[in-house]
A and B are shown apart, each in its own frame.
Chain A
Amino acid sequence: MASGVGVKSTSESSPRLDGHLHFTNRGSRENDSLRSHARRVGRETEHWRRSTRSLPRSLHSTSSFPQLRQPRKTRKQLPSQFRETRHDLNVDTAFVGQAEAGDAIPTSDTATSVTEDKVDPPDPLWSMMNQQPGAHFATAQTSLWTPAPRAEFGSFVEYHQQPGCRLLRDDAPTLPQHISSHLLAPLLAHSDLVSTALVTHYLDELNLLDHLDVLRAFWLGGDVVFLERVNAALFGKDSAGAGEALGLGKRARTRARLGLGNDDVDNDRLGADEKREWGIGLGIGLSERAKWPPGGAELTYALRSAMVDDNDDDGLRLQNSDVWHGIEDKVSYAIKDLPEDRRDGRRAKWLNPKGELMFVGVLYGHIADMNSHRVSTACMPC
């Protein structure tokens, strides 16, 4: 007997008792239910992923969650008085004397003249309206009353006191084992699915690894070509950096780069206490500035040129990923605001041309996609 001796069906007045309707081999059946649950989750997830890749975000929908869909437009029902009028016009003589759903409002005459319909069964709604008050309780499928807890407890005890019926099962002879293998098994199985889905979503849909590659390339020196261009733009190297004054010989550039400003025209105009010492090793374009830290279009152009390179054949740029497309617009430079600090604090370091280039930071502007996912933009000093 599939349902087992002593098992109560759901149609009875007493509610289903937990544990009473489970069959033998419940362990294997539970495993099967968990496996089917996992398969169902996998199918739903795969369907959703396919739909997100093929449709715009505004049209996302899955077949299993109709509440996410746009509600189907349904034609409004005509008011009852109009339906009655129309139905009266189209009334068939076979339906005369019967209280139907589309018929006229039931009157005392029609209510007492309900007859058996040999053509169509009476509408259950209007049939119920014609019954005596309270008569519908006898035909209700669900009982309004629940059994007393004592009765439920009595049936629980009666069932488990039967010979051969044990409180704990053979596959879980101890209570902790029973809890782990039966009570918490669905929860733990679903927990694994959730954790896996989260990792998969970040790796596949959000391309987390590509973002990490970008950070590695531009912040940790992973892109050697980019690193060399930045060095060339900031420190000049063998050739004049961007913004460098043209016409200077190699010796003059070297002297300027080393901070030997004897040939600096601006310094010649200044007094002894006003002569500035520019940073050593900086590109000429950054050294010949009236203020520090330098700013403006010269610096921006120098750094921008390090980012954009039409002849770049680096493998990183050739990656076919949404993250890398237009990377030049996502990675940019930012001039950080000077902090309010003490004379010897961080502000003082910024104002020292011989110090670090702390006023410039590289900004990863992938805010629109990742902001909702709590990934803050990385702004690191050069």
Chain B
Amino acid sequence: MASIVLNNLYAHLLARSSTSSLNQCHDIPTLAVAYILQRTSQPLLALMDQWVGLAEASAADEDTNPDAQPWSNLGITRHGSTPPGSGKKQRWEYTFSASKMPNFVPKSDRHTLFEAGRSLRLLRDASDSQHPLCHGDWGVHGQWGWGEEHE
């Protein structure tokens, strides 16, 4: 549902910014759509930061509930590869559905982001979570960053 809303907002903003003149880009409807897109995409961007390792994601990764899908909004599903009751640490296998990611993320970057998250979790297993990249927060986040300085 979240991706549907974001897709619609992005489509509207893309249409307005592509077809309007410079003056029309400053009209209130365009700015309103940009503002709403910015606000509604913040949870998704925060989730994306957690997936690639820019923010702490221990709550999602340590959730051992086999039915929990903390990354579903990114189109990422996980399933456990360790048999339950074996006493071993649960390992997850991740599958990605690129079509479920919001449209404003370019298709060429979707798999890159997905593989980065998988690589991060593999690095976490390989280094026993000791590698510096296994720990967030790095103080760098994805932001829309509209506009320029007023001259």
Contacts and interface: CB of A to CB of B under 8 A. Distances in A.
A148 to B, nearest CB: 13
Interface in A177-224: 179-180, 182-188, 190-195, 197-198, 201-202, 205-206
Q: How would you classify the secondary structure of chain A's contact residues: helix, strand, loop or mixed?
A: helix
A191 B147 contact: no
Contacts of B143: 18-19, 182-183
A4 B115 CA distance: 39
B59 interface: no
Interface residues of A, number: 70
Interface stretch (A87-95, A153-161, A250-258, A338-346): A153-161
Interface string B133-145: 1010011111111
Interface string A4-22: 1110000000000011101
Interface string A23-60: 11010001001100100110011011000100001001
Nearest to B15: A175
Contact of B146 (A18, A40, A164): A18
B64 interface: no
A187 B147 contact: no
A170 B113 contact: no
A160 to B, nearest CB: 5
Nearest to B48: A187
Of the candidates A24, A68, A187, A197, the one having the most CB atoms from chain B within 10 angstroms of its own CB is A187
A201 B28 contact: no
B131 A179 contact: no
Interface of B: 10, 13-14, 17-18, 22, 25-26, 28, 30-32, 34-35, 38-39, 45, 48-49, 52-54, 91, 104-106, 109, 112-113, 115-116, 119-120, 122-123, 125-128, 130-133, 135, 138-151
Q: A-B pairs with the 5 shortest C-beta distances?
A: A191-B116, A44-B132, A19-B146, A24-B149, A4-B149
10 contacts: A5-B149, A5-B150, A19-B147, A24-B148, A153-B35, A156-B35, A159-B147, A184-B113, A190-B116, A197-B123
